[in-house]
Every structure is written in C-alpha cells, then in structure tokens.
Chains A and B, each alone.
Chain A
C-alpha cells in the first residue's frame, strides 16, 4: 500500500470540506448525538450530585452510634442509661475526649417538620436536635450568617440549601414548627452536603416541642485516630443490654446515597441507551447518505489508485467528527442547564434532601464516550460501504 497516511489525510479533508453540501442531514446527526448526551448527562449529574451531597456530609473521623438494631437514624433508639455508660467509660474506647476527659459526643434526634412558602411549596424538612457540641463534630461546617442556637432557647440555624429555598427562614424571622415558634438565628454552609438540608436546634428544645422527652436516636462521637472505630465497636460490644452499632459517618451517608443514586442511574441509562440506539440508526442513515452523495468522488480517487483503507478511515473519521461536534454541543448545553441546578428529593428521615446536579469529570467522560460511540458505531457500516463502491461508477457517472 502506498503512503496510506497522505491518502487518508486528503480523503478526510475532502469529506469534511464536502459537509456543507449536506448540511441539513449532518446537522440532524449532530443534534441527535447532542440530545443523547444531554439526557444522559442530566441523569448522571443528578446521581452524581445526590451522591456528592451525601458522601461529602460524611467524615471518616466521626462515628455515629445507633441503637435498636438499625443502621439508620430513623427507627434508632439509644436509652439514656446506655449513653451515661458510654460517657462513664474510661480508658481507650477509640473516642476523642474533651479537656475534662469526657468523650466528645453529641446526642441527637431528627424530627420531620412541614414548612411551606410560595417559592418551594410544602416540604418536609429535617429538624435535628443536638447537643451544643454537635456542630463541632461535623467537618466542614461553617456559619454563613448569625450564630448557632443557644442551649435551651427556641432557636434554629438553617442549612444554606434550605435557606435559599425558603424566604421564611431568613435570619431573624420567626417560624412555627409543630406547636412551637422558633427564631432563625443563623445560616450555615457545609460545602453543599446533605447537612445543608437540615434545621439545627437544641436537643432538649426539640424533644420538648415534639413530645420526645428522653429520646435519643443517635450519638455522634469524634474518633481518636486510626483504628478508633474498631476500639469503639469493641467497647460497645461489652454493653449487652442494648445492641448498638457504630458506623463511620462517611459510610453511613454513602450507604444512604448508594440506593437512590443507583435508582437514578437505572432510570437514566436505559433511556439514554434507547436514544443512543435511535441516534446510531440516524447516524448510519446520515453517513450512508454522505457516502451515496460522494459515490463518484470516492470511486474516482479509488480509480486513481487510492486504497480501500483510506476510503474507510475517511468516512469513519467524518462520522466521528460529526458525533464529536454533537458531544461538544451536548456537553455545553448540559453544563449550562444542569451544572449547579438545585434539586431535592426525599432523603433519610423522610425529609427533603437538597442537592446540586453535578457534571463532574466522570459524568463528562461517560457521556462523551457514549456520544462518540454513536459516531464510531454508526459510521462503521457506511465506511465499509464506501470501500465497496464499484469503481465503474467513476468512469461513466456525472461528477
């Protein structure tokens, strides 16, 4: 074979320069690919955003102790006597201690509350009652306005995601949750994590307001270095009265996100693949039209001595270029429409969980590959057809 690279390069150039001749049908292929990319990017960015909201909420240096044989806060119950026992434990139980030598922990309870306004409609939100140590036991949490709630005061601090959606939760406003009116005293950020979908208040105030006296669903503790979780589990294993589970906070949220994210993907992929199948059929049709339109040109250069391979590669590259344009348009549109778009769903505790759709590197790469696959698969058959054109077509056809 003589100088296949030069032949192929000139045929690719000729093919691409002939695109304006069949602009309408080429454009339809480009937009088919773009649409597939847009749909898949929508679903995957939703799953990625949901996962990110939950996984970024979890820290590996914090553990959550749950009771009642469950590994979720909902349904968990830790008797006060058990908590007192944990507080009284001496020696290395894998938990960091404060200056007084007491374990750094926060007792917590989550109550779903309904809140409505014109912007967001009625939504169930998670009101978390916690000890004053609670905020410090969450990595990456910072006040963006006001202050945290004082012990014993009917005050709440609101996650930024919720605060953006509810004008009624501005700092200084009063809001009725259940039978009690709370004052919003601050807003906090946690880098867009699931914490931002919560309202935080003093534990005793929440228990009192919702008739949950004495109830504790979870205990958060700061782990004392690597291996802290194992030592904590070992220590808790000695408490035979109540079965307790200690879960690393990151694992707890990862487990919560996995099911929903998988569900989103299970919806998204079949739809995107079906659309991709249609787009591939469209790509085959488009490229067949292109080959048919250039029958004389392809046969002519083949008659001059150009190889079958150059005809094949040029047609294939043309399809890949068209799908790459579609991918670029689809990704740009996805970025503009989806990236950072705030969505919400029902999370753990049956409360609203806000998250931002996220077009991360994985989403961009996956959708781009699917879009390019449409061109590569859809261009292969027409590329083969281009190599099989009868050369006699060149000798008598009107070019």
Chain B
C-alpha cells in the first residue's frame, strides 16, 4: 500500500480579481510532498510561488480543489480553524524575519508557545533549547535591532521550530542575507530536515539556496514545469 503524501494538493484552482478582470494563478495544480522531504520551489515573479506558500500556510484559501497537510483538509476549514491548525502544526520562516522589534529574542521565540498550555518555566526552557539549537545560546535578552540579519533569521527559525512542528514553510529565507549568513541559515534548515525530520517547503529565487533541498520544483504560469532531485 502506498503511503499517503504528507502534503497533497489536488486539482487546486486559484485566481484573483482585479476590478472586472479575473487573473488566474492556478487552473489545476497538483502536488505531493512526502513527510520529511525538503522541497525548494523556484520560479519567476508572478509564477504563483507566493500564492502556493500562502495556501499551504492557510492564510489564503483555494477557490477549488483539495489542500491537505498531514491528513488535515485546510480547504474545508474556516479561518479560525486554519489559524489554530497553523499554530499547532507548522512554523513559518519569513524573508524579512518579521521579529517584533519591541520584544527581545527570547520573547519573540516564545510567541507561538503562548498559544499552547505550557507552563512558564517549561516555555522558558524550550526557548533556551531552540536558541541553543540555532547557535544563539545566551543571546535571548538581545533585541532584534541589535542583531545582524543572519542572527535575526536564526531567531526567526528558532521561533518557527519552538513548538516542534512537523512542517516548516520558508519564504525566501535567505533573500535578505549576505552569502555567509545565507549558507549558515541553509545549513541549519538542512540540519533540521535531516536530524529532526522536519518537512520543509522553501520558496526561493536563489539556485544556491535551492541546491540545499532534496527536491526542486520549477513553477511557471501556474504549472510545475520541471522537477529536479538532489544527487
């Protein structure tokens, strides 16, 4: 018996309206990603990468078709249910880190833990553990404004994995970083995938970033036109 894919998109249709004009993004998109995969999605601007990521994150819904992650049908959920599901099952790594500047690194990492029934002491222990994991042990009191881009993105990754989710969605995670910092972040994502078994979907323009993934999908005009697997 074939194992059901962890992420499954079937016959997904999605478009936007711009005034009177309908702008189709996906007419019939299908995608399977097994659990524990590290997938990079590439494509030119307007190809639908961001829309795909938004649908996987549950911040946008499909017009038609199935969006299933870990057996949960996101396309059948309301906004509040998607929000709760997201809080419990996925972490998001943003291109521009999206840290709250008025909170220190530890407080930023703690944010998703506040949505769970975890006592304060256990929350603090988890924050220390993930900051240690991303190489920022002892930097919890530091504010984002005093950190480099690479360090901020590490905090962003620590926040994404604080709840130990199965899935990480990464939106151009190295798009705002210098090469050395980008390599650090990509190495970290690969580590999370290989050592902790996280399923990672990463949208990127950068072929070097994509080369860290096990599988690269090229999206153009709403269709996957090429798939390449790492050697």
Interface on A for B, CB 8 Å cutoff?
Answer: 1-3, 6-7, 10, 14, 17-18, 296-297, 300-308, 390-392, 394-399
How many residues of B are counted as interface, with CB atoms below 8 angstroms from the partner's CB atoms? Answer: 32
Tell me if B102 is interfacial: C-beta within 8 Å of chain A. Answer: yes
Question: B86 and A303: CB pair below 8 A?
Answer: yes
Measured between beta carbons, the chain A residues less than 8 angstroms from B107 are 10
Complexed CA–CA distance, A303 and B98 (Å)? 11
Question: A399 and B99: CB pair below 8 A?
Answer: yes
Question: B54 and A392: CB pair below 8 A?
Answer: yes
Complexed CA–CA distance, A297 and B54 (Å)? 17
Q: How far is the CB of B163 from chain A (nearest CB, A)?
A: 9
Complexed CA–CA distance, A392 and B55 (Å)? 10
Complexed CA–CA distance, A310 and B94 (Å)? 22
Contact of A399 among B59, B87, B96, B115 (CB under 8 A): B96
A2-B87, A395-B59, A399-B94 are known; give 16 further A-B pairs, CB within 8 A: A2-B84, A14-B103, A17-B102, A18-B101, A300-B94, A303-B57, A304-B92, A305-B83, A390-B59, A391-B59, A392-B54, A394-B94, A395-B50, A395-B171, A399-B96, A399-B101
The 17 sampled A-B contact pairs (Cβ below 8 Å) are A6-B114, A7-B114, A17-B103, A297-B98, A300-B94, A301-B111, A303-B57, A305-B83, A305-B115, A306-B83, A306-B115, A307-B80, A395-B50, A395-B54, A397-B98, A399-B97, A399-B99
Task: Pick the 6 closest A-B CB pairs, nearest first.
Answer: A305-B87, A17-B102, A391-B59, A300-B98, A399-B98, A398-B96
Q: Which of B172-196 contact A (CB under 8 A)?
A: none
Interface on B for A, CB 8 Å cutoff?
Answer: 50, 53-54, 57, 59-60, 80, 83-84, 86-88, 92, 94-103, 107, 111-112, 114-117, 159, 171
- Chain A binding surface, main DSSP class: helix
Complexed CA–CA distance, A399 and B115 (Å)? 22
Measured between beta carbons, the chain B residues less than 8 angstroms from A303 are 57, 59, 86, 92
Residue of B at shortest CB range from A300?
B98
Knowing A14-B103, A300-B94 are in contact, say whether A396-B50 is a contact too (CB < 8 A). Answer: yes
Measured between beta carbons, the chain B residues less than 8 angstroms from A306 are 83, 111, 115
Q: How far is the CB of B150 from chain A (nearest CB, A)?
A: 16
Measured between beta carbons, the chain B residues less than 8 angstroms from A14 are 100, 102-103
